[in-house]
C-alpha cells in the first residue's frame, strides 16, 4: 500500500500570514488532487495536477507538483478565516485506486 504523508498535521496561524503544507510519497504519482474538507461535510476538490513541475494558482492558493512527481505543496498567501479546514491530498499511483493523505488541519485565527 502506497502512503501519502502530509505535514504538518496541525497548523494554527494568524489571519494575514502565509503558510505552506506538504504532501510526500516514496512512490511516483500519476496524478495528484488537493481537497478541502469542512466540519460535517465531504471533501471538495480544489485542484488536480498531472505534470511534474506543474504550478497552478487558485486565487490566493498556489499548488506545486514536484519535478519527480513524488511530492506536492500548497501555499496560501494572506490566510483568511475562511481558509480554515482540513486539507487533503490524494494521489493515483497508476492503478485503479485513489490514496488519500492523513491531512493537515488548518486554523486561521482572526
Partner 1 sequence: EAQVTQNPRYLITVTGKKLTVTCSQNMNHEYMSWYRQDPGLGLRQIYYSMNVEVTDKGDVPEGYKVSRKEKRNFPLILESPSPNQTSLYFCASSRTLGPQYFGAGTRLSVL
**Interface of this chain with partner 1, residues 1 to 40, rule: CB under 8 A:** 1, 31, 33, 35, 40
Cβ 77 vs Cβ 62: under 8 Å: yes
Q: Hey, which residues between 38 and 97 contact partner 1 (CB under 8 A)?
A: 40-45, 48, 88, 90, 92, 96-97
> For residue 110, what is its C-alpha cell?
482572526
DSSP 8-class letter at 67? T
Unique residue bearing C-alpha cell 486554523: 107
Pick one of 55, 58, 78, 98: the residue that binds partner 1 (CB under 8 A): 98
Q: Does the footprint of partner 1 cover residue 100 (CB under 8 A)?
A: yes
Amino acid at each position: 500500500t502506497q502512503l501519502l504523508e502530509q505535514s504538518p498535521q496541525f497548523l494554527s496561524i494568524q489571519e494575514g500570514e502565509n503558510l505552506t503544507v506538504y504532501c510526500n510519497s516514496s512512490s511516483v504519482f500519476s496524478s495528484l488532487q488537493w481537497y478541502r474538507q469542512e466540519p460535517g461535510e465531504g471533501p471538495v476538490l480544489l485542484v488536480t495536477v498531472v505534470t511534474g513541475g506543474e504550478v497552478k494558482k487558485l486565487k490566493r492558493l498556489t499548488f506545486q507538483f514536484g519535478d519527480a512527481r513524488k511530492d506536492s505543496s500548497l501555499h496560501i498567501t494572506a490566510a483568511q478565516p475562511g481558509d480554515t479546514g482540513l486539507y487533503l491530498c490524494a494521489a493515483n499511483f497508476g492503478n485503479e485506486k485513489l490514496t488519500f493523505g492523513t491531512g493537515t488541519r488548518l486554523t486561521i485565527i482572526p
